[in-house]
């Protein structure tokens, strides 16, 4: 290590509840990337930190070290306010496909580096891949040029961006050290800081379909992420939002693009549209727009079709077929087998959100391991939400499958994942908390 402090001493100090200094963390991460610290030592230190807890100062320093491990993107030459939006992941969460065009229409510059889905959560890049011709492999120069002209670009992060985070995450994944607020926050925020935006809005999910099951832990994570962003000179805020049930009707890649287009066309309401408006207004607040004015502005831009026009230009700029903005199902791949599921009569009292996402994955819409191939056409449409009454014979879900056997499998599974009762049920709130916003 570049530091005079041996890594074994750092492990022991953390094991005993002590705190690592900023310089020690910077040296540690640099030494780990240089293979001067091995995986066993780093795993031991991470486990000690998970058990004992990391301080906010340690999380801030770790974020700095991760950012310093690779390239960063400089957006300072862009004309408008630069904004980034990030979700911690969930089921049916394609809000970036609406929020990005909305913010671009509002005069913001959004350069978003996204990832692919793993497990029950879908990745933005996987959704965009379902649009014929769309490409996500933009160079930093191409990314900046497109944002300058369109106001929006969504691309894959390069291997040179925050490489230490990729290596640490792979180690955490196999050593049971993922579930640490400081490690999660530093991983999220390092990528946001490296992306170069001056304003960062986070959507921290809570509930059965999220990584965080209860609102208190989600608020804690949101506060930590906001503290890290502000410590590094970025205007940062977070919404803590519900993921106890799927957000949108569509769960699957082409299906989620179609939902986004329907929303941009003004043909869809409900919780998905409302959260897109909340996130867009929150991001505008970060740039200095008052809360009420921000909400009014994004509603007007959505209703007037300005965000749809920006989506069309965004798709065309990245090589996709822009007519997806006019008639998505003339462009998007469709599943060969489509069938409804009817549960009977009653009130929807609970939906197993995570397992719904996993069911879509079993149909082929997701991947269990990195490198698994995704079928963009398959997935589920969930036609009811908690609190809805379902009449006998009314479809509650629609399955988009590759085979009749897959359709039968999904129908049988849905009977265990959507619970009906007799008593009225109040739906959960969509937004649990706002951190860093009025």
Active site residues: 86, 165, 172, 187, 191
Name the residue among 340, 345, 353, 339 with its Cα closest to residue 418: 353
DSSP codes of every residue in 78-104: -SS-EEEEEE---SS--THHHHHHHHH
CA nearest neighbour of 380 among 413, 423, 416, 348: 413
d(CA 201, CA 86): 7
Helices 270-286 and 96-105: angle between axes, nearest 10 degrees: 40
Find where tokens 């109040």 sit.
426
Least Cα distance to 222 among 52, 86, 47 occurs for: 86
Place of tokens 């049916």: 92
Could you give the CA distance from residue 21 to residue 26 in angstroms, rounded to a whole number?
9
Residue 72's contacts (CB-CB under 8 Å, 6 or more residues apart) are 161, 193, 194, 196
CA distance linking residue 122 with residue 335, whole number of Å: 18
Do 202 and 240 meet the contact criterion of CB atoms below 8 Å apart? Answer: no
- Please give the angle made by the CA atoms of 416, 422 and 424, to the nearest 5 degrees: 105
48 touches 18 (CB < 8 A)? no
């Amino acid at each position: 290590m570049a530091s005079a402090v041996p890594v074994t001493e750092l492990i022991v100090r953390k094991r005993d509840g002590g705190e690592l200094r900023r310089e020690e963390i910077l040296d540690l991460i640099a030494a780990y990337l240089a293979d001067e610290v091995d995986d066993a030592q780093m795993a031991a230190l991470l486990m000690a930190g998970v058990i004992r807890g990391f301080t906010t100062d340690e999380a801030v320093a770790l974020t700095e070290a991760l950012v310093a491990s690779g390239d960063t993107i400089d957006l300072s030459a862009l004309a408008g306010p630069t904004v980034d939006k990030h979700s911690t992941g969930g089921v049916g969460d394609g809000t970036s496909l609406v929020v990005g065009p909305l913010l671009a229409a509002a005069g913001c510059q959004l350069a978003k580096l996204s990832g692919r889905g793993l497990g029950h959560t879908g990745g933005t890049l996987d959704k965009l891949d379902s649009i014929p011709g769309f490409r996500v492999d933009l160079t930093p120069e191409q990314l900046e040029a497109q944002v300058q002209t369109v106001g929006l670009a969504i691309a894959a992060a390069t291997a040179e961006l925050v490489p230490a985070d990729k290596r640490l995450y792979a180690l955490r994944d196999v050593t049971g050290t993922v579930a640490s607020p400081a490690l999660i926050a530093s991983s999220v925020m390092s990528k946001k800081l490296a992306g170069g935006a001056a304003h960062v809005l986070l959507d921290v999910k809570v509930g059965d379909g999220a990584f965080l099951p209860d609102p208190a832990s989600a608020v804690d994570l949101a506060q930590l992420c906001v503290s890290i962003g502000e410590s590094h000179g970025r205007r940062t805020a977070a919404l803590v939002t519900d993921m106890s049930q799927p957000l949108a009707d569509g769960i699957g890649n082409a299906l989620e693009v179609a939902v986004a287009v329907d929303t941009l066309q003004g043909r869809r309401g409900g919780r998905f549209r409302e959260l897109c408006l909340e996130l867009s207004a929150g991001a505008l607040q970060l740039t200095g727009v008052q809360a009420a004015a921000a909400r009014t502005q994004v509603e007007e831009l959505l209703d007037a079709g300005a965000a749809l026009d920006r989506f069309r230009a965004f798709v065309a700029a990245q090589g996709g077929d822009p007519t997806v903005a006019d008639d998505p199902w003339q462009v998007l791949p469709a599943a060969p087998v489509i069938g409804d599921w009817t549960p009977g009569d009653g009130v929807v009292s609970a939906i197993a959100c995570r397992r719904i996402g996993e069911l879509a994955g079993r149909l082929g819409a997701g991947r269990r391991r990195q490198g698994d191939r995704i079928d963009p056409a398959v997935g589920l449409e969930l036609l009811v939400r908690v609190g809805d009454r379902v009449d006998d014979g009314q479809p509650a879900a629609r399955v988009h499958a590759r085979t009749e056997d897959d359709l039968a499998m999904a129908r049988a599974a849905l009977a265990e994942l959507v619970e009906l009762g007799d008593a009225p049920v109040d739906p959960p709130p969509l937004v649990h908390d706002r951190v860093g916003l009025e």
